[in-house]
Structure 1
Amino acid sequence: METEATRTGVLAFRHARVLPCTGADPLDDATVVVEDGVIKDVVAGVSRVRADDTVDCRGRTLMPGLIDAHVHVCSLDVEVGREQRDYPTSLLAYAIGRVIGQTLDQGYTTVRDAGGADWGMKEAVDRGLISGPRMFVSGRPLSQTGGHGDSRSRAQDSVGCLCGAHLGMVDNIADGVDGVRRAVREQLRRGADAIKVMASGGVASPTDKLESLQYTDAELAAAVEEAAHAGTYVLAHAYSAEAIRVAVEAGVRSIEHGNFLDEPTAALMAERGTFLVPTFVAYEKLHEHGRALGFAPEKLAKLDDVLGAGLDGLQRAHDAGVRIASGSDLLGPLAVHKTRELAIKAKVLGAAETLVATTRTNAELLGISAEVGTIEPGKRADLLVVDGDPLADITVLQDLDKLSAIVKAGVFHKRALRRS
């Protein structure tokens, strides 16, 4: 739970190196004033404002809270679905609540769950029943029969009976235009903020190939239309350039992963304004730990194909002017490595652009850029105080001890700094 409530008073962060993540240069020895949970002023130099609480940030960086646009808080195991089989619903709910809290502990004040989390989980955070970031959920992802979201082995004939827990990455098979429309409407009815579709093969699915195209143009267009009717959008899991192209032409808002993006498709994404959400750390950590954690051998073989391809795709996206966001996609115990994603992206984008991708651009993707993502007057006070300078060494964000303060909507979730 949040440890200190200051939302109704005036809070001043003084002597900070302010990294606004707007694309502008940092401000040194600056003061940021927060009132009623909202940033009221950003002043170069010492502000004389009277404050109920003052934080001395000397030698530290003040920056926006991080945003992760691709998490799976319900995936407690690297083998997706194993938790539904082995956990009763009650235990699964408690375990998921702990994962959600640990996400905020890592400095992520907003996340988009890209499959599994439901309305109840975000509502639990909003009501203060559990500690966690602001959440946007996409419910159960849509998959065609035999697609990336179909967890059945080749030996199984029928779709699962849901005999185990009903939380998390439960299969949601939808075929044909009418079937897709019905499935989208059902997820919207259940409180999904956006709709996730599986538009290509994937690493973690047992029977498809990475390069396979999944869903027809008409099926994808139907999903986009139904989401648009409800005032929201579709995010599409897609690896191959062809799968990305089909999804972009159907009108999806974001491409998840996109490792095999080519130059013509990157140009199309830039033209349409489609976001790219790379998720490199998932492959790195699965490669390092997957075998020991029981990740199936046939999936590890597919992992090898995507592991080295992503940075080239990211470079093509960057060169084409694609709007680059940021996700992690980590499963189970690997979720502790979320901020490692930033250091990987920085190999192509550099530290400054990576931090913008993880704050401002992610906020734009989620449609909340008027509220969060940068340090500017009028924005919600989702803030991090970091020991050190992430522009000089972005890996400082991987060390939780270096996060001196985590503030969500003007309330301290963590505070290792004394009042001044």
Structure 2
Amino acid sequence: MRVLALATLSATLAAPLPAVAQTPATNGAMGDGEPIALHCGRLFDARSGEVLGPHTLLVRNGRIEQMISGGNADVLGVASVDLRDRTCSPGWTDLHVHMASQSSPQSYSEGFRLDPVDFAYRSVGYARKTLMAGFTSVRDLGGEVAPHLRDAINQGLVEGPRIWAAGKSIATTGGHADPTNGYNDALSHLIGPPGPTEGVINSLDDARQAVRQRYKDGSDVIKITATGGVLSYAKSGDAPQFTVDEVRAVVETAQDYGYRVAAHAHGEEGMYRAIEGGVTSIEHGTYMSERVMALMKQKGTWYVPTIYAGRFVADKAKVDGYFPEVVRPKAARIGALIQDTAARAHRNGVKIAFGTDMGVGPHGDNAREFVYMVEAGIPAAAALQSATIHAAEVLGVDDQGVLEPGKRADVIAMPGNPVEDIDAVMGVDFVMKDGVVYRQP
């Protein structure tokens, strides 16, 4: 049924649309193949972390063709956008989202009541909100809808950020991404134990098969759940759930396909095993110890804190009925710790990149993570770099994350100076992705 539902959605999205529906609704086809000059009052230089003075960016064919300091340069015969009272920045990247869902008290029952096509249609609205908030790229770390949403965005059928999609997360039996957690006996016997095709492994061969299945499914990145999780219907939120050898089998097989591996991890031992096994990034990292931090620095492992999700679930744990009772104590205990972990990781020199776990909280509010990072003692410039040049490094790409000639024309702008006042990130009102303007003042 799932395959049929997704096939139905794919056919619907692939149907011919009127030309106007394939261009940004906010301002027609501005930038769609035509050059544009952006006159920026200030410019955030992601390499140095400094805010520079006025610049004019000449954009053509989806790339930055030229950068002219001074910002008042007239480019004859070229449409222009006046951003002289704003700070321009590279488009942001959120390295941890779930585009097909959004937390609510109904989240657990909806998995039984709704079809994949329902989640897919919801994701279209979530994608647009994310783009309009200034996030021109995201890494979707778990969800079968994401590869299809990615393709629809790439085909110009819907508006949204560039997506690196993990598809189904890889877990062990009973682990954080075991899709049958919480099922009763009758349903469990009817469905049978999930295996590598469903992203559940219990051996090295299973690990290899699960990665190969993700390749078959069209994933761009691999995600494992190296420990228990907060929102899964299971008791432990931090116990290790992979052996080092299992992690290594996932990582080595992923490398065969050019994939990087992200590891959801809250507990100290599971984190250590994941890092030892060669993952690219640790997500959440709640109980990160000095021992773990030392290994991360030795291995060059990135940390994606997701402070937003921690604060959100800790707040919702106070609300009767929002979470199942097996989830509620984990949300209260673990969620409240992540901001402090991010602060300790920064002080210890761990490499930090930006991610929110959005889908836990409401899509479109992603930029609030910057505010929480600064509250944790991370300088505003470093927080902004974590979502630009450092996020590009985590993804393994070198054509985005900075405003330079030859790079993708992913440009956002906001009133104020976010390095001086981080709250400015909540006011993004200009968004360009691949040279096309989707939002402007």
TM-score norm. by structure 1 comes to 0.90
SS at structure 2 position matched to 1:349: coil
2:92 pairs, out of 51, 57, 66, with: 66
In the alignment, does 2:378 pair up with 1:352?
Answer: no
The CA distance in 1 between the partners of 2:348 and 2:32, in whole Å, is: 42
Query: What CA deviation, in whole Å up to 9, does each residue of 1:337-364 have, x standing for no partner?
Result: 2211110011221211000001111111
What is residue 403 of structure 1 aligned with on the other side? 428
Structure 2 equivalent of residue 174 of structure 1: 201
Cα contact 2:313–2:332 (8 A) shared by 1: no
Find the residue that maps to 1:57 and give its secondary structure.
strand
Q: Could you say if the C-alpha distance between residues 24 and 51 of structure 1 is closer, same or farther in structure 2, counting changes exceeding 3 Å?
A: farther
Q: 1:5 to 1:104 in 2, by over 3 A?
A: same
What per-residue deviation string (whole Å, max 9, x for no partner) do you get for residues 19-59 of structure 1? Answer: 12222422212222212221122222133433511111122
Residue 319 (structure 1) aligned to one of 322, 332, 347:
347
Shift of 1:374: 1.1
Which 5+ residue runs of structure 2 have no aligned equivalent? 1-22
**1:351 corresponds to which letter in structure 2?**
A
Would you say the 8 A contact 1:12–1:53 is kept in 2? Answer: yes
Deviation at residue 69 of structure 1 after TM alignment: 0.2
Corresponding residue for 2:57? 32
Partner of 2:12: none
Letter in 2 for 1:37: G
Counterparts of 2:184 and 2:40, CA distance in 1: 63
Which moved further from structure 2: 115-124 or 375-384?
Answer: 115-124
Equivalent of residue 416 in structure 2, options 376, 385, 388:
388
2:279 alignment partner, one of 242, 249, 252:
252
Q: Is 1:231 aligned to residue 258 of structure 2?
A: yes
Letter in 2 for 1:357: S
Distance in 2, matches of 1:22 and 1:221, equals: 33
1:192-241 Cα distance to aligned partner (Å, 9 max, x none): 11111110011011224123011111111110111011111211111122
Note if contact 2:177-2:232 (Cα within 8 Å) is conserved in structure 1.
Answer: yes
**Alpha-carbon separation, structure 1, partners of 2:190 and 2:147:** 22
TM-aligned CA distance change 1:277 to 1:309, over 3 Å: same
Aligned to 2:223: 196
Q: Please tell me whether residue 294 in structure 1 is matched to residue 294 in structure 2.
A: no
Aligned in 2, Cα 1:253/1:217: closer, same or farther, shift over 3 Å? same
Cα gap change, 1:72 to 1:355, in 2 (>3 Å)? same
- Partners of 2:73 and 2:214 in 1: how far apart? 48
TM-score by length of structure 2 reads 0.86
Q: 1:233 to 1:160 in 2, by over 3 A?
A: farther
Taking structure 1 as reference, are residues 292 and 330 closer, same or farther at Cα in structure 2, changes over 3 Å only? farther
User: Counterpart of 1:328?
Assistant: 356
- Show structure 1 runs of 5+ residues with no match: 164-169
Q: Report what 1:273 is aligned to.
A: 300
Measured in 2, the distance between the counterparts of 1:26 and 1:365 equals 23
Q: Distance in 1 between matches of 2:428 and 2:380?
A: 17
Cα 1:85/1:171, change in 2 over 3 Å: farther
Structure 1 position 293, deviation (Å): 7.1
Query: Quick check: 2:235–2:327 contact (8 Å CA) kept in 1?
Result: no
Question: For the residues of structure 2 that align with 1:160 and 1:13, how far apart are their CA atoms?
Answer: 60
SS in 1 for 2:47: coil
Kept in 2: contact 1:64–1:374 (CA 8 A): yes
Distance 2:310 2:49 in 1: 32
User: 1:167: which partner in 2?
Assistant: none
- How far apart are 1:158 and its partner, in Å? 6.1
**For 2:390, which of 341, 348, 361 is the aligned residue?**
361
User: Over aligned residue pairs, what C-alpha RMSD do you find?
Assistant: 2.2
User: What secondary structure does 1:50 align onto?
Assistant: coil
| Cα distance between partner residues in 2 of 1:104 and 1:162 | 38
> Partners of 1:142 and 1:10 in 2: how far apart?
43
- Counterpart amino acid of residue 369 in structure 2: E
Describe the SS at the equivalent of 2:387.
Answer: helix
* Residue identity (%): 32
Q: Is the 8 A contact 2:51 2:419 kept in 1?
A: no
**What CA distance in whole angstroms lies between the structure 1 residues aligned with 2:56 and 2:321?**
46
Q: Contact 1:29–1:44 (CA<8 Å) still a contact in 2? A: yes
Larger mean CA deviation between 124-133 and 262-271 belongs to 262-271
Partners of 1:156 and 1:341 lie apart in 2 by 40
1:55 match: 81
> Could you say which residue in structure 1 is the equivalent of 2:147?
119
2 CA distance for matches of 1:59 and 1:162?
59
The size of the alignment, in residue pairs, is: 406
Q: Is the 8 A contact 1:270 1:320 kept in 2?
A: no
* Greater displacement, 190-199 / 21-30: 21-30
Of 134, 137, 141 in structure 2, the residue corresponding to residue 107 of structure 1 is 134
SS at match of 1:23: coil
> Does the 8 A contact of 2:133 with 2:365 survive in 1?
no
Judge conservation of contact 1:266–1:316 (CA < 8 Å) in 2.
no
